[in-house]
Amino acid sequence: MSFDRVIRHGRVVTPGGSFTGDVGIRGEKIAALGADLDCEGADVIDATDHYVIPGVLDVHVHLALPFCGTVSSDDYRTGTRAGARGGVTTIIDFAIPYAGESLSEAADNWLAKADGEALIDYTFHICVTRWDDHRDQIKAMVDRGFPTFKEFMIYASEGWQSDDRALFGTLEKMREYGAMLLVHAESSRVLDELIARHHTPELMQRYGARLHPMTRPNFVEAEAIQRAVCWCEATGGPLYIVHMSTGEGADIIRSAQHRGVPVLAETCVQYLVLDDSVFEREDGHLFACCPQLKKPKDMARLWDGLRHGEVSVISTDTCTFTRVQKAMWEGDWTKIPMGMPGLETLLPLTYTRGVLGGHLTLEEMCTKLSTNPARIMGLAPRKGGITVGADADLAIIHPTKTHRVDPATMETNADWSPYEGWELAGFSRTTLSRGEVIVDEYRVVGREGRGQWLPRITAGQPAEPTTKDIAGAAA
Ligand code: URP
Ligand code: ZN
Ligand code: ZN
């Protein structure tokens, strides 16, 4: 059997287990796994003393998003280059209708943003923002290859907010169409009340950006997750809680899953490695995101949830704003553009803090970053695992070699990083996307515009790796 490329002598992580050996690639696909594959005529990539892991899927990103009175500053060019450097080979963004637009127009807008710019493959969740207008457009979007939808329980000021009627009705449709609803779960009525109570010149002068965590106690997220789970249980429509940040949320998801409720949850890496003490810093406002960073006990509970299974996916919620954009707050925390950069550091942070930190095995990390996101979002078996027939999307990482996080040397458009100065292992030495090397020796070498839109059929598969794909590899 001949190959175009062979990755040799790496520690290869497959959904069925890890082995030391080779990955044979023909065209865009993985053609064989095994020991000492035939390298005659093939381009050989040496992975000795490295891990060969599936390309990461970041299924929660916002690129060039108009939000908070500005536009998030990583676009499809910088965002996908940043992702590639961090071993990310697939992203899922959110197509959000602009005022008065249909779901289909939203998808067209986001396809246009990505076209000719993206270095890696991509697709979108479709945001239902005006239930009465959008309800009858959902089926056509599923037929067009978009089986995941999103509703926000907050953000009335952006025109994005959904009420319980919309959540309930959308979940009914998800069940009918084999689709899945993603929900940003924060309780808007109580949140707005707490913000209004604190929005005084005296308190802003005294507490500054600390008012952001002060006005979002954990019950703001927990009550909203509980309510969304209630509608999920009542309708049987598959639900996926995005960017879950609280221990209480993990408890709710765990008990719902034990009752057989079709709900899944993602957390973001920032909720695993940062806590709200960052708001004490002079530049604490930079860290404002929704939901906001929580307490060390929440971080610990989310790590446990990943290991036990109630948290299925780690993503980033990348929504990059520069220092100049963040400065729009001028002392009023309600005006801070909400979000942080993340694509470039997802894998290094999860590997360094998760695997080297003893929270996850290497295989569990790959399940949470690749296998589960691909299965849940309807991209498996094409994406998410090193298996014969899958796209040759791979990251090759060194077990211990570290790089210092320095925005000046990064691909992101951000001029700051929440992790500035951190020494992280797990940056991708070599990233392959559909068989093509797009990162070599830690530097992006692929050309933008090569990334492809990924049509999907269904979504919401349960999150479990299979064990049958090791394909003759030596243990
Ligand atoms: O702060 C955040 N997360 N910005 C992006 C919008 C969202 O809620 O996901
Ligand atoms: Zn959100
Ligand atoms: Zn988001």
Of 230, 148, 138, 146, the residue nearest 185 (C-alpha): 230
Mean pLDDT of 113-119: 98
Does ligand 1 lie within 6 Å of residue 266's CB atom? no
Task: Report every protein residue that has its C-beta within 5 angstroms of ion ligand 3.
Answer: 317
For residues 371 and 381, what is the distance between their CA atoms, to the nearest angstrom?
9
Does ligand 1 lie within 6 Å of residue 290's CB atom? yes
Whether a cis peptide bond, with omega within 30° of 0, leads into 147 is no
Give me the residues paired with residue 24 across strands. Answer: 6, 32
pLDDT digits (tens, 9 = 90+) for 421-470: 999 999 999 999 999 999 999 999 999 999 999 999 988 877 654 333 33
Checking if the pLDDT of 176 tops 70, the result is yes
pLDDT digits (tens, 9 = 90+) for 321-350: 999 999 999 999 999 999 999 999 999 999
Percent of the chain surpassing pLDDT 70: 97
Look up residue 88 and give its two tokens: 């990310």
* C-alpha of residue 25 to centroid of ligand 2, in Å: 38
- Residues 241, 228 contacting (CB under 8 angstroms): yes
The predicted pLDDT at position 471 comes to 37
- Residues 249, 273 contacting (CB under 8 angstroms): no
Is CATH 3.30.2080.10 the right assignment for the domain spanning 56-345?
no
The predicted pLDDT at position 474 comes to 38
What rounded mean pLDDT belongs to the chain?
Answer: 96
pLDDT digits (tens, 9 = 90+) for 21-48: 999 999 999 999 999 999 999 999 999 9
For residues 81 and 433, what is the distance between their CA atoms, to the nearest angstrom?
12
* C-alpha of residue 316 to centroid of ligand 3, in Å: 8
Q: What is the DSSP letter of 63?
A: S
For residues 204 and 256, what is the distance between their CA atoms, to the nearest angstrom?
39
* C-alpha of residue 127 to centroid of ligand 3, in Å: 11
The predicted pLDDT at position 473 comes to 39
Does ligand 1 lie within 6 Å of residue 289's CB atom? yes
For residues 291 and 286, what is the distance between their CA atoms, to the nearest angstrom?
14
Report the nearest-CA residue for atom 4 of ligand 1. Answer: 339
Checking if the pLDDT of 296 tops 90, the result is yes
Q: Coil, strand or helix: which one is 155?
A: coil
Of 429, 406, 435, 434, the residue nearest 418 (C-alpha): 406
Half-sphere exposure (CA, 13 Å, Cβ side) for 111?
14
Checking if the pLDDT of 74 tops 80, the result is yes
Does ligand 1 lie within 6 Å of residue 377's CB atom? no
Q: Which residues of 42-68 are buried (b: 16+ CB within 10 A; e: fewer)?
A: beebebeebbbbbbbbbbbbbbbbebb
**Any idea what the Cα angle at residue 325 is, between residues 182 and 428, rounded to 5°?**
60
CA dist 51 to 34, 87, 470, Å? Answer: 15, 12, 16
Domain residue spans in the chain? 56-345
The separation between CA 377 and the C-alpha centre of its own chain, rounded to angstroms, equals 11
Half-sphere exposure (CA, 13 Å, Cβ side) for 134?
31
The predicted pLDDT at position 475 comes to 37
pTM for the model: 0.96
